[in-house]
Amino acid sequence: MNKSRSEIEEYEDRWILRPMRGARVIRTLWHPEHVEFETDTPFRIVVGYGAEMARGSIAEEAPSRHAIGHWARDEVEQMVSATILSPVFFKSGSLRIAFRNGWALFVSGRHPEVSAAVIFRDIPMWNRSGLVDSGEFSVVAVDRWTGRRIDAPPWPPRPSDIDTDSDDING
């Protein structure tokens, strides 16, 4: 499959925001309720302080996985200062963003109180409820087993002989 950097890949359980891949966090803003990671692209990642960081392991039970507040601010800024390799946003409301330096940012489905959003050009693109706006990017369905695009045929047009005066809501 020829994967385009301008497409959002949609799988049964997740979206992979390929346009975020290669972005680099260049500034971290520490707000009272959340942390905002600005990238060298129009993407911003906004997470609550309960978002977690870990190096290497992606297991939720990993002893090295801790909430952002566990580390000093300059340590967190160093952890996210690498190129984004894998921006994955789950339909369950979780996220996993892996960086080239081995660190990953997580928002777990086990902690629904932790806020998370991705913003593109000041427009919310993803939040814990799901993909809000795909912006200028096309969303392509991908088969999880083969990795190939799913190009479904278009829905057939409405038949012209349907009785539109019917009381049947299915008509």
Q: What are phi and psi of 131, to 5 degrees?
A: -70, 115
4: which residues sit within 8 A by CB, 6+ positions away? 18
| Reported confidence tier of residue 141, pLDDT bands at 50, 70, 90 | confident
- Per mean pLDDT, which range of 19-28, 82-91, 147-156 is the poorest? 147-156
Looking at residue 133, its pLDDT comes to 82
Indicate whether 111 belongs to any domain. Answer: yes
Indicate whether 162 belongs to any domain. Answer: no
Domain that holds residue 37: 7-141
- Per mean pLDDT, which range of 15-24, 33-42, 125-134, 152-161 is the poorest? 152-161
- Residue 62 or 32, more confident: 32
Q: What are phi and psi of 18, to 5 degrees?
A: -55, -35
Indicate whether 148 belongs to any domain. Answer: no
Distance CA 69, CA 66 (A): 8
Looking at residue 149, its pLDDT comes to 74
In the chain, what percentage of residues exceed pLDDT 90? 62
Looking at residue 60, its pLDDT comes to 81
Indicate whether 131 belongs to any domain. Answer: yes
What would the two tokens of residue 39 be?
A: 């990238």
Place of tokens 């369950």: 92
Q: How many domains does the chain have?
A: 1
Q: Which is nearest to 1 in space by CA: 153, 139, 143?
A: 143
Distance CA 108, CA 50 (A): 9
Indicate whether 128 belongs to any domain. Answer: yes
| Reported confidence tier of residue 62, pLDDT bands at 50, 70, 90 | confident
Looking at residue 27, its pLDDT comes to 96
Indicate whether 161 belongs to any domain. Answer: no
Query: Is residue 97 pLDDT above 60, yes or no?
Result: yes
